[in-house]
Amino acid sequence: MPLSLSIPTPENFSFKECLWFLDRGFDDCLHKVKDGSVTKLLRIRSHGLSLLRISESEDALRVDLLKGEARESEIIDYITEWLHLEGDVAPLKAIARQDADLEQLVEKYWGLRLISIPDLFEVLCWSIIGQQINLTFAYKLKRSLVEAVGESETYKGETYHVFPTPKQVLKLSFDDLKGMQYSSQKARYLHIVVEAFLAGEISVEKLSLMESTPEMLKCLMSLKGVGEWTANYVAMKCLRRPDAITYGDAGLLNGYKQLKGLDRKPTREELETFFGQFPGWEAYIVFYIWRSLA
């Protein structure tokens, strides 16, 4: 019998908002959103590849295992982390009242959770791929990489992909990547990240031992190709550091400009003053500002 399970959803959670974020029209090759559900292929350590479909039922998420095998606990752990189901976001509403513009923004999109990328290798590669290019082209580059060396499963005529491992990406030469329209710089940085993972120089376990976000950011930025924006993006999206702020990010700059009705891009000092009002909620506020760009 196919596995089907239910995961209770917390208060202040909107599956609709989460689906919106996952389906912004950028052709993400790592999940498919359709008819109020999201289907995603996972690499489960104990059983290999598992294809899941997540939909909403009353006060819960329904999860159907469409293909493969997996322990219930592993599925629940992944989805809980991915959609931040354990996070208590209730204080954000009260904190947002310190700024009338932010209060309206949080109220409008209330229930959106900070959707993560649990795989550290994936999020580092993705952040490098997305540096200094528009999102449409970034998703095209990601798809070319994933389809070239990533694993996939077919279900009812549709193909689902999972992000490749460091060893799989290593199969691609610089010329291979350049043939996929990667710049020489991006190709070099990807190989640096691959080598760091294979050598054990970077891991979630190592980074999680660090007590402060600045220490974590410093470690990430020791990798060539990982600057302040990339390090903060990784800290925010994978390591769940609540005080991570993606300074320099075009989406953040444009979103804040729109939030405050500015006729110019905000300065670093303006952003620091703004985020300084909300210690411990900076990453979530960045995420809501991104949402406002719809």
CA dist., res. 63 & res. 4, Å (int): 6
For residue 139 the two structure tokens come to 């998703």
Tell me the C-alpha distance between 44 and 33, whole Å.
21
Give which of 231, 236, 6 is closest to 113, Cα–Cα: 236
Length of the chain equals 294
Closest CA to 34 of 53, 52, 12, 13: 53
CA distance 235 to 213: 8
CB under 8 Å to 225, separation ≥6 — which residues? 128, 185, 188, 189, 192, 193
- Residue pair 171/165 in contact by the 8 Å Cβ criterion: no
Spatial contact of 247 and 288, defined as CB atoms under 8 Å apart: no
249 is catalytic: yes
Secondary structure (DSSP) of 45-61? TTTEEEEEEEEEETTEE
Residues 229 and 221: their CA atoms lie apart, in Å, by 10
Catalytic residue among 77, 119, 249, 263: 249
CB 259 within 8 A of CB 274: no
Q: Which residues pair with 161 in a beta bridge?
A: 152
Task: Catalogue the active-site residues.
Answer: 249
